[in-house]
Amino acid sequence: MTRPLLSGGRDERILVVRTRYVGDTVMAIPFLRNLRTRYPEARIEVLVEKVSGAVLADCPYHDGLVSWDLPRPGHRLAPVLLTNQFRLAACLRERRYTRAYVLKRALSSIVPVWLAGIPHRVGFAGGGRGAFLSRSVPIGAHRHEVELFLDLLRADGIAIDDGRNENWVSDAGRETVAALESLVPAGRKRVFLSPKSTSWQREWPEARWGALVARLVRERDCDVVFCGSPAQMPFHRQIVERAGPLAARHSHDWSQHVSLAHLGALLARMDLCIGVDSGPVHVAASHGTPVVVLVGPTDPNHWCPWDAPAVVVRGTLTAPRPRPTPATSALRWEPGEATMESIPVAAVWDAALGLLTAPATERPRLRAAG
């Protein structure tokens, strides 16, 4: 039986499950704000992974982050998976939650919540998940990730605000970035590049990144900033080498100097972010930084930057295109898969130039797909 909604939630202890990737995690902020508005007196905690959860460190809409590392996708050792599930369930049971909202669409994220005995469990339908939920919510095709999260609240009778994007910068992050900014010559535009993804299929050829960097430095007097994991630094160096000596003098890799917790402070100070479909692109959007995102196999209706000045540069569709329906005809982008190799440098350059030169009031602002 579904538990009644309490007035201010004083007796509620609420768990929000959003593990795994940086982009998915930061896109939970509108959800958390609306949940907090409905339950201003509840204790709200977010189950995150230790690394990606850092992007919510400064979010004021929760009372704490519960860090838990899950086995990597594709892990084949059943005893390891089961042990992790039971240990997580025991941890959650001790915290005596009364409600849980599972934003991750994975059975492995729902089962521990069920095992923990949390009475009210809301998550997405499909894949056998409904058997472990008190309320299962259908997944709308091509619906934006942020809207899907908010659909969980709508299904629970919770009113939604304008769904705006937002983020915050800590004093420590601001100080870290200020020290690095002194290395960038005054008066030059700062462009952040995010060329790596969790999937190689989303990445753009290194030579094209190099050509783009060369033009940004030579033709628009930009300085280029990289900041990813240390493992990405060799790829950053290869891009700069492709761009040439002039670009090398105006390129900065701060991967070893800025933590994920302070990445937002860095992106908030950029004039533009250009990247593949990756976490930093969505962090930049949450800070209102203009974004150019290069999209291939992922659906931009579902994954475009949310509520930010942004341009999607999409490759040529390759997969068979389904027959249009009234629902798909209303979408901003036609359904189907595209290749990253089909995106020319000129298309990315034009998008970047438009965002760098247009007044803020004239920049295209992406939100929902339709």
Tokens 């901003």 map to which residue? 332
Distance CA 296, CA 313 (A): 9
Distances (CA, A) of 147 to 71, 267, 333: 28, 24, 17
Span 166-171, average pLDDT: 96
What DSSP line would sit under 246-281, residue for residue? HHHHTEEE-TTT--HHHHHHHHTT-SEEEEESSHHH
CA 107 to CA 331: how far, in whole Å? 29
Stated as kind and residue range, the H or E segment containing 241 is helix 233-243
- pLDDT tens per residue across span 45-72: 999 998 899 999 999 999 999 998 776 6
- Look at residue 158 in the predicted model and tell me its pLDDT: 97
User: Each residue of 109-154: pLDDT tens digit?
Assistant: 999 999 999 999 999 999 999 999 999 999 998 999 999 999 999 9
In whole numbers, what is the pLDDT of the chain averaged over residues?
A: 92
Look at residue 178 in the predicted model and tell me its pLDDT.
95
Spacing of C-alpha 281 from chain mean position: 7
pLDDT at 74: 56
* 75 vs 287, residue with greater confidence: 287
Sequence-separated contacts (24+) of 313-317 with Cβ below 8 Å? 313/343, 313/347, 313/348, 313/351, 314/338, 314/343, 315/339, 315/340, 315/341, 315/342, 315/343, 316/342
DSSP for 147-188 reads HHHHHHHHHTT-------------HHHHHHHHHHHTTSPTT-
CATH placement of domain 171-366: 3.40.50.2000
Residue 165 has pLDDT above 80, yes or no: yes
pLDDT of residue 1: 35
Q: Give percent of the chain above pLDDT 90.
A: 79
Q: Is the pLDDT of residue 73 over 60?
A: no
Class of 13-155 in CATH: alpha beta
Mean pLDDT of 320-325: 68
The least confident of 81-85, 170-174, 239-243 is 81-85
What integer is the mean pLDDT of 236-246? 98
Residue 84, Cβ density class (10 Å: 0-12 exposed, 13-18 middle, ≥19 buried): middle
pLDDT above 80 for 216: yes
pLDDT > 50? residue 363: yes
Residue 19's pLDDT is 87
pLDDT band for 276, please (50, 70, 90 cuts). very high
In the chain, ranges of CATH 3.40.50.2000 domains = 13-155, 171-366
d(CA 366, CA 39): 29
Residue 364: the pLDDT is 87
Confidence of residue 78 (pLDDT cuts 50, 70, 90): low
Look up tokens 């940004």; give the residue: 216
What pLDDT is stored for residue 81 in this prediction? Answer: 77
pLDDT of 2 over the 70 cut: no
* Distance (Å, whole) CA 256 – CA 115: 40
- Mean of the pLDDT values across residues 314-327? 77
pLDDT at 156 over 70: yes
The residue to which tokens 């930061």 are assigned: 26
Residues 332-346 have pLDDT tens digits of 998 888 999 999 999
pTM: 0.92
Bridge partners (DSSP) listed for residue 224: 191, 251
pLDDT of residue 68: 86
